[in-house]
Chains A and B, each alone.
Chain A
Amino acid sequence: MSRTETTQAPVDEAIDDEEFDPVGTLALIAVYFAILVLAWVYIYYIEFLGRDLVVVG
């Protein structure tokens, strides 16, 4: 097995995750999440439970 030089390289000090704030990614995920929750609420509570003749037995 050969060892590459990169494994020996020191960790890049520049990447400090406290300064790494992917606000755009967070916003995108928040939007996806909101769509998912709204879609579920619509599908289950309005389309499914809101229909006639809910099977109860």
Chain B
Amino acid sequence: MHIHAYEKLWLAAAIALILLLIGSVTYGAVGPGVAMVTDSENQIDAGGLDEDERFSEPRVEQVGENHYEAYVVAYQFAFDPSPIVVPEDSRVTLYVTSRDVVHGFEVVGTNANTMVVPGEVAQISFEVDEPGEYGVVCNEYCGAAHHTMEGKLHVVSQSEFENRGEDA
């Protein structure tokens, strides 16, 4: 079969493009370690969060030298805790669940973004560096006051983090 030289050229280019797309996503997963939100967490009773070990008292907890976990409850129309306060230069794992309807949890302008489904726990981990304040919004329509549903994520210095109880 005879194929025109130009056609060979753009067949090769199209294959190269496909390899670039697949290669980029592979690089993202292997290099920066981009991960998806999975269903690895067990289901919980959305109506019984009061008795749940993690969510009866939404909070930030230190679980490793530089690793913090936050247990966050979304409800109509707020997030608890708000602000979520974590120290700078640490790894943060958020466990987010809902006690009523489907919500979203998006740290505005960042890649930290997940759906929050009642009975399911969304787990996302990321690294924070410099102190700063991020907004958190619900990005799934959840009711009449959906547009007012917001939270805060504060990244503070180590000393400020250790003294945070005194301001409250």
B124 to A, closest residue via Cβ: A55
Task: Fill in one digit per residue for B23-35: 1 if any A CB lies within 8 Å of its CB, else 0.
Answer: 0110010001111
A-B contacts at CB below 8 angstroms, number:
74
Interface size range of chain B in the complex: 20 to 34
CB-contact partner of A26 in B9, B111, B124, under 8 A: B9
Interface size on A (CB < 8 Å)?
Answer: 22
Contacts A55-B34, A57-B35; A37 near B17 (Cβ below 8 A) = yes
Contacts A20-B4, A52-B110; A57 near B124 (Cβ below 8 A) = yes
Name the distance in Å between B113's Cβ and chain A's nearest Cβ: 8
Across the interface, do B24 and A54 meet the contact criterion of CB distance under 8 Å? Answer: no
Across the interface, do B107 and A56 meet the contact criterion of CB distance under 8 Å? Answer: no
Tell me which residues from 57 to 103 in chain B have a Cβ below 8 Å from any Cβ of chain A.
93
Name the distance in Å between A37's Cβ and chain B's nearest Cβ: 7
A29 to B, closest residue via Cβ: B10
Across the interface, do B10 and A52 meet the contact criterion of CB distance under 8 Å? Answer: no
Name the distance in Å between A28's Cβ and chain B's nearest Cβ: 11
Cα distance, A49 to B2, chains bound together (Å):
43
Chain A CB within 8 A of B141 CB: no
**What residues of B have a CB within 8 angstroms of the CB of A40 in the complex?**
20-21, 24
Across the interface, do B34 and A26 meet the contact criterion of CB distance under 8 Å? Answer: no
